[in-house]
Amino acid sequence: MGRRRAPELYRAPFPLYALQVDPSTGLLIAAGGGGAAKTGIKNGVAHQQQGNKAEKAGSKEQGPRQRKGAAPAEKKCGAETQHEGLELRVENLQAVQTDFSSDPLQKVVCFNHDNTLLATGGTDGYVRVWKVPSLEKVLEFKAHEGEIEDLALGPDGKLVTVGRDLKASVWQKDQLVTQLHWQENGPTFSSTPYRYQACRFGQVPDQPAGLRLFTVQIPHKRLRQPPPCYLTAWDGSNFLPLRTKSCGHEVVSCLDVSESGTFLGLGTVTGSVAIYIAFSLQCLYYVREAHGIVVTDVAFLPEKGRGPELLGSHETALFSVAVDSRCQLHLLPSRRSVPVWLLLLLCVGLIIVTILLLQSAFPGFL
């Protein structure tokens, strides 16, 4: 049996690092390039209009249409790409410096729930929060000693940060609320320190006011025989761990939570992609080395707007991008469930059959 392969939606002329799906239009936007490094690789933005991709990719008769990307045209005020009647224009509205270390590098940026604020973190260990779109700085504080690996802004204004100093902290503005204590409550490896690699807030399905925090823990140092990485769910109100499970020995590089909080998406440094159920942290889907190199970002198809129309008969869809310049689609088929009434009917039938068999084997049993 051959290795499972994920449909390839797009191949860009540059490495891809970031991914976003617009819920209202179904437009898939990916960005990447060479960054500030003098590699000769330009930065760019690619877009893909989603048709009925899920249905096509799930059919054996017809796969997804693949399109070759063209290098974005350079303009003074930004970049512009056009394909099949669609146009995406990117304009530089404001620019600010977000990291002030000796070798400045912004590692992570995230928006709040209504896109009015964004938070940045980098190698200097400072969190800076900016108004959108003016990029007026409204908050700045030292969160970690060394690099910040990831940030997550909650709907209640709380901010979670994880860093290379092995700490994960919860903040209300610039005030420390608490620190996460995973290794003290989870699996312990006295000779193997772990650090937090990623963090994301997610809703609790069917509980509008419920909130969960999900984190990924990876070994701080790479060993010849790598220990497992872990996925943990935390209570979003008191930040106590609810459950933790191993997510394999491949080092996790990125994490995403579906809009309803039902699914978790993971990418690894070896190019693998997985989908987990958020409630039990059970793996539902896994493609080993879907990409040839580090998966840099994953994003679920939104469950509102055009999402249900594009999803078709599948339960969820996860997009992934990587340094190999490819954007792939990962579809989770709908899981068949047995109705409760049918289970009850089968139980009653089983009880009746058991009684009849006992009556036949032992006359006068009843």
pLDDT at residue 59 in the model: 47
Q: What is the residue-wise DSSP string for 298-340? A: EEEPPSSTTHHHHHTTEEEEEEEEETTSEEEEEEEEPPP---H
* DSSP 8-state symbol, 95: -
DSSP 182: -
DSSP code string of 155-222:
TTSEEEEEETTS-EEEEETTEEEEE---TTTS---TT--EEEEEEEEEEETTEEEEEEEEEEEEESS-
Distance (Å, rounded) from C-alpha 168 to C-alpha 152?
Answer: 11
pTM of the model: 0.82
Q: Which residues pair with 329 in a beta bridge?
A: 319
What is residue 75's predicted lDDT score, i.e. its pLDDT?
40
Per-residue buried b or exposed e for 302-321, using 16+ beta carbons within 10 Å of the residue's own CB: beebbbeebbbebbbbbbbb
- Coil, strand or helix at 64: coil
- The structure tokens listed for 359 are 């009556």
Below-70 pLDDT ranges, the chain = 1-3, 35-40, 50-87, 185-190, 336-340, 364-366
Name the residue among 248, 266, 281 with its Cα closest to residue 330. 266
Q: How much is the pLDDT for 61?
A: 36
List CB contacts of 72: < 8 A, sequence separation 6 or more: 42, 44, 45, 46, 79, 80, 81
Query: pLDDT, tens digit, for every residue of 279-306?
Result: 999 999 999 999 989 999 999 999 888 8
At position 348, the amino acid (one-letter code) is V
**Block residue for tokens 């106590």:** 240
Tens-place pLDDT, residues 241-264: 999 999 999 999 999 999 999 999
Return the pLDDT at 211.
95
Burial of 210 (0-12, 13-18, 19+ CB in 10 A): middle
Cis peptide before 133 (omega within 30 of 0): yes
How far apart are the C-alpha atoms of 238 and 234, rounded to whole Å?
8
Indicate the helix (H) or strand (E) that contains 285. Answer: strand 282-287
DSSP letter at 50?
-
Tell me, what amino acid is at 255?
L
Let me know: does 54 contact 311? Beta carbons within 8 Å: yes
Whole-number CA gyration radius for the chain? 24
What pLDDT score was predicted for residue 123?
Answer: 95
